[in-house]
Amino acid sequence: MFDIDKWQEILATIGKNKLRTFLTAFSVMWGIFMLVVLLGVSEGLQNGIETSFNDDAINSIWVRSGKTSVAYKGLKPGRQIQYTTEDFNEVLRTVQGIEYATMRYMVWNAEVTYQNEYGSYPIRAVNPDHQFIENSAILSGRYLSSEDVRSKRKLAVIGKDVQKDLFPNEDPIGKYIQIFGIPFKVIGVFEDTGSDSEMRYIYVPITIGQQIFGAGDDINMFMVTTGTLPLVQTIKMSEEIEDLLKRKHTVAPDDDAAIYVRNNNQEFKQISDIMLGVKVFVWIIGIFTIIAGIVGVSNIMSVVVKERTKEIGVRKALGATPASVIGLILQESIFVTAVAGYLGLLLGVFTIEGMAALIGKQEMFERPEVNFNVAIATLIIMVAAGAFAGFFPALRAARIKPVVALRDE
């Protein structure tokens, strides 16, 4: 393998046919490059999708309302469905398997002040379980509790960006902010790794939010999580919630506009299946591209063997064994494919890194990267491809009879 004379001979052979060697190597390099880039892009898509889903609990069901689209039981279409606390409580009483649950009442662009600082922020009145469904991480202080909700305490958990705006140089815990002129004590600061916009929100207990903001018993929406239930049971749960609300609000069974139930379990599974299909497709395209390059290498090695027929005959006449002839051809084939493949791998990695730096973090696309295991698998494919491409031409070369080879013109 490390015979200097053999390597000089291989390099001399390659040097005599520069264009042919370049075109052959380029086909292998392009195949590896395309495989790496496509896999990196698909990884970026998957990372973006996972980050998007991580904004909320993946095992969650979200229940929103709309307007009826068909007449039903004497009621005209176009009715706005309004959920109440009783709807939420009835779902909790009726539907089995719920892990966490929260109501939500929203107030947009609330005027919030602290001493000389002020801003406009969205307010969410929620239950304590909202923390787990929204994946909010507490940076300091604490989140809302059940006792806060029962006692209708004027407490607030603020996002990290709200802290930066209103409390640039001090700890907000224990301080009072004014929401529409009403004092709320700050008990916690949170961040949301899935969404930057979430960190401009302020959370207050659902009960005090309904009272102060004039909602009465109304809520905008509610969410529940399904724990570790299998997908089939989560689908059944979401259908049960939808049927219950349609009966309660006199909505036609086939009216899909009035009651909207989104099952994150189901959506995540569908997206995961699509991404798996994309990765399989990328591997198929990449491997077939590599195979095309391998065929080119094999053809070139066949031509090399034919051109060196007399030389191989002389070698065998002087005592060269079939194994040494096969080794010579294989070594040249593996060298060309390995070098070309490695260059393709490096070029692909640099392209992905450049793409990541240029694009940055985008919605549904984040951190395009080449997995280390994929890089190792690609290197193995390159070596195997080089050996396979050169094996059959090498075998033909080993079978050449010296007498026939010496007569070759």
* Secondary structure of 246-297 as H, E, C letters: HHHCCCCCCCCCCEEEEEHHHHHHHHHHHHHHHHHHHHHHHHHHHHHHHHHH
**Measured between alpha carbons, how far is 148 from 130 in angstroms, rounded to an integer?**
14
3-state helix/strand/coil string of 107-160:
EEEEEEEECCEEEEEEEEEECCCHHHHCCCEEEEECCCCHHHHHCCCCEEEEEH
Token pair 């059959």 is found at 392
| Residue type, position 82, single letter | Q
E strand or H helix that includes residue 101: strand 101-114
160: nearest Cα among 196, 111, 109, 117: 196
- Read off φ and ψ for residue 187, nearest 5 degrees: -115, -10
- Give the whole-angstrom CA distance, residue 54 versus residue 195: 9
The DSSP symbol for 81 reads P
Angle, CA 270 vertex, CA 264 and CA 274 arms, to 5°: 140
Give the model's pLDDT for residue 66.
92
**Interatomic CA distance for residues 300 and 303, integer angstroms:** 5
User: Within the chain, which residues score under 50 in pLDDT?
Assistant: 1
Q: Structure pTM?
A: 0.70
pLDDT value, residue 22: 79
3-state secondary structure 160-181: HHHHHHHCCCCCCCCCEEEECC
Sign of CA dihedral 383, 389, 395, 401: negative
pLDDT given at position 95: 93
Residue type, 343: L
Smallest CA-to-CA distance from 386 within 32, 11, 33, 39 is with 32
